[in-house]
């Protein structure tokens, strides 16, 4: 979670500006969302941390992240301190997060938390269902994607930068498994909102993606009179 002091634009009708940034794992949505939030002076929320933290709470208990009853209880007990845990990244956390995210009761428990975060000041939120479920009326909706091979390459570099030994084939397999879980779940499956702008980041660096996204946001605000 973060905030800034830059432009602080408002959408038309004085509604808080909400920017939804969705997409699969390792597509670059988190980096993009943080930079947009800083440039626009908005708070930022990585909503994936909510599900990762719920998954971690279950793993701490030695429980199965697919246990719907326990997962809902942990989601309702979630605190901001849980979001600052240092162990919310990595394959184990990835799969636990994907498992709890498929549970409708968990998503319902966390829905108002996410909406409340942006209610007063607006926000940039990144996740997998921001533009489709959490904020279907978001001012701007972006869907950030890349090929599975490119996303696996980025994840491998990220893991190695943290000193985690990783096999390229295994990382790609994990990316594909996470994609399948997220896209095929019954509750809020991963997909672009009908009115989202899709950004394919394959072959683009973070600066190029940010420049394109910021131009889209400013163009949308100008058209809306914001």
70-117 pLDDT, tens digit per residue, is 999 999 999 989 999 999 988 889 889 989 988 999 999 999 889 999
In sequence order, what are the residues at sequence separation of 6 or more whose Cβ sits closer than 8 angstroms to the Cβ of residue 18? 11, 118, 122, 123, 124, 125, 135, 137, 138, 139, 140
What's the pLDDT score for residue 200? 96
Pair 127, 134: CB distance under 8 Å: yes
Number of Cβ within a 10 Å radius of residue 180 = 11
Which range among 11-25, 81-95, 149-163 shows the weakest confidence by mean pLDDT?
11-25
Pair 130, 32: CB distance under 8 Å: no
Number of Cβ within a 10 Å radius of residue 74 = 24
Which range among 14-18, 102-106, 175-179 shows the weakest confidence by mean pLDDT?
14-18
Query: Two tokens at 27?
Result: 């597509």
Helix (H, G, I), strand (E, B) or coil at 124: strand
Query: Two tokens at 168?
Result: 């390229």
Q: What angle (nearest 5°) sits at the alpha carbon of residue 79, between those of residues 78 and 84?
A: 110
- The proportion of the chain whose per-residue pLDDT surpasses 70, expressed as a percent, equals 93
Q: Which residue has the tokens 């701007």?
A: 140
CA distance 133 to 136: 6
In sequence order, what are the residues at sequence separation of 6 or more whose Cβ sits closer than 8 angstroms to the Cβ of residue 203? 150
CA distance 24 to 195: 17
Number of Cβ within a 10 Å radius of residue 162 = 10
Which range among 3-12, 85-94, 167-176 shows the weakest confidence by mean pLDDT?
3-12
Mean of the per-residue pLDDT values of the chain: 90
Q: Is the pLDDT of residue 51 over 60?
A: yes
3-state secondary structure 170-215: HHHHHHHHHHHHHHHCCCCCCCCCCCCEEEECCCCCHHHHHHHHHH
Q: Mean per-residue pLDDT for 140-162?
A: 94
Pair 71, 103: CB distance under 8 Å: yes
Pair 96, 87: CB distance under 8 Å: no
Q: pLDDT-based confidence at 11, cuts 50/70/90?
A: very low
Comparison of pLDDT for 53 and 166, the residue scoring more: 53
CA distance 46 to 29: 9
């Amino acid at each position: 979670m973060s905030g800034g002091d830059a432009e602080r634009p408002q959408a038309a009708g004085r509604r808080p500006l909400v920017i939804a940034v969705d997409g699969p794992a390792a597509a670059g949505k988190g980096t993009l969302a943080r930079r947009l939030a800083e440039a626009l002076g908005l708070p930022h929320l990585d909503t994936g941390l909510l599900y990762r933290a719920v998954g971690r709470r279950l793993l701490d208990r030695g429980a199965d992240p697919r246990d719907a009853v326990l997962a809902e209880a942990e989601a309702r007990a979630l605190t901001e301190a849980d979001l600052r845990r240092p162990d919310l990244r990595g394959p184990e956390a990835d799969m636990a997060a994907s498992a709890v995210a498929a549970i409708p009761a968990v998503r319902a428990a966390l829905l108002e938390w996410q909406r409340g975060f942006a209610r007063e000041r607006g926000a940039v939120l990144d996740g997998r269902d921001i533009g489709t479920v959490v904020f279907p009326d978001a001012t701007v909706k972006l869907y950030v994607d890349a090929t599975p091979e490119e996303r696996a390459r980025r994840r491998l570099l990220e893991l190695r930068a943290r000193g985690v030994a990783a096999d390229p084939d295994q990382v790609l397999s994990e990316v594909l498994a996470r994609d399948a879980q997220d896209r095929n779940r019954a509750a809020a499956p991963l997909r672009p909102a009908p009115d989202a702008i899709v950004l394919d980041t394959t072959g683009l660096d973070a600066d190029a993606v940010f420049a394109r996204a910021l131009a889209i946001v400013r163009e949308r605000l100008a058209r809306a009179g914001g």
